[in-house]
Structure 1
Amino acid sequence: MVNMEAVYVDPKNRRKKTGITNHQYYVVNNFNMVLDMQIQELGNRFNEVTTDLLIYMSSLSPFLNFGAFDKLNLLKLAEMYPCDFNFDEKDKLIYELGNYIAVKDDTRFDDFNGE
């Protein structure tokens, strides 16, 4: 078992001192490298439009008593669907979203956990 508090020795150049511990090398350096690769992979799979769509859709989630509800995000979501919302419908949407959040005060949704 590797002593995590011992000084890290680079296997390619054993004579050169690294100045870091095994813990820093394995936890910080390797963890950050793997994390960067995963973030890059997610970025390749989900473009900006898809990410925005997911963020805007999350505003409709009833989880935690509609805690993520955001009128501005929902208006941006409507902008992403120009064929489904004409100018008048977008104008009415502002008021209709106020009615949607009125459900928040309905006691039937108090114990809703989103499952």
Structure 2
Amino acid sequence: MHYYHVEIFLVAIDAILTGLNHRFSETSSELLVCMACFNPRKSFSNFDVDKLVRLAEIYSENFDIGELTVLPTELKSFVNRARRTPDLLGYNELGKVAEIMVKTNMNTSYRLVYRLIELTLILPVATASVERIFSAMSIINTDLRSKMGDEWLNDLMICYNEKEIFRKIGNEQIKKRFEEMKNRHCFFR
């Protein structure tokens, strides 16, 4: 049992942890921990004012010094009200909380909290999109294509990233569109 625990299990955990540390920087990890404090499950049981203020500090372009001083009070007031508001209880998704805040006009009463929730909801989508685009760029911009212009690279990137849409377009539609173009560039002669 000792062998499996020390030689196999702990080595595997160390390898996974090393991979995660290599993949995610300290700031990224801190962002994820801070964002988790907004989890509405179990009446905001993970709610931590200090970590949420830290999250706002990381987004320093979106919060000025005065707002950062008011934020802890607004966060405490918000969570107390959220725990007493039947509309907000029972939801497991932060997006639903934001939706209800808008419907009940809480987004104006707690505008800093709402802004922080918006940033928390946007970050994973923005990060994933950027990573996907850089990954696509490394596939498209090979050594053979390294001298192509920005416009051509942009067109290829759009086609690659939106390939689900482009798969639905038939060859006949493409030919017809090309024939209707006034200024077309002919690459093959």
Q: TM-score, normalised by structure 2?
A: 0.45
Is contact 2:34-2:55 (8 Å) kept?
yes
SS at match of 2:39: coil
- Decide which of 3, 8, 18 is 1:40's aligned counterpart: 18
Distance in 1 between residues matched to 2:4 and 2:76, nearest whole Å: 51
Structure 1 residue aligned with 2:40: 62
From the two aligned structures, give the one with the greater strand fraction: 1
Q: Measure how far apart 1:113 and its partner are.
A: 4.0
Q: Measure how far apart 1:28 and its partner are.
A: 3.3
* More RCO (CA 8 Å, sep 6+): 1
Q: Cα–Cα, structure 1 residues 113 and 75, in superposed 2: closer, same or farther, change >3 Å?
A: closer
From the two aligned structures, give the one with the greater helix fraction: 2
SS at match of 2:33: helix
Structure 1 residue aligned with 2:27: 49
Q: Which amino acid aligns with 2:29?
A: T
- Decide which of 58, 77, 81 is 1:99's aligned counterpart: 77
Instruction: Name structure 1 gaps, 5 residues minimum.
Output: 1-22
Q: Cα–Cα, structure 1 residues 65 and 37, in superposed 2: closer, same or farther, change >3 Å?
A: same
Distance in 2 between residues matched to 1:88 and 1:34, nearest whole Å: 47
- Decide which of 73, 83, 87 is 2:65's aligned counterpart: 87
Distance in 2 between residues matched to 1:104 and 1:24, nearest whole Å: 46
Q: Measure how far apart 1:33 and its partner are.
A: 1.1
Give the superposed CA RMSD: 1.8
Calculate percent identity across the aligned residue pairs: 29
Q: Measure how far apart 1:107 and its partner are.
A: 2.4
Instruction: Name structure 2 gaps, 5 residues minimum.
Output: 95-189
Q: TM-score, normalised by structure 1?
A: 0.71
Q: Measure how far apart 1:34 and its partner are.
A: 1.2
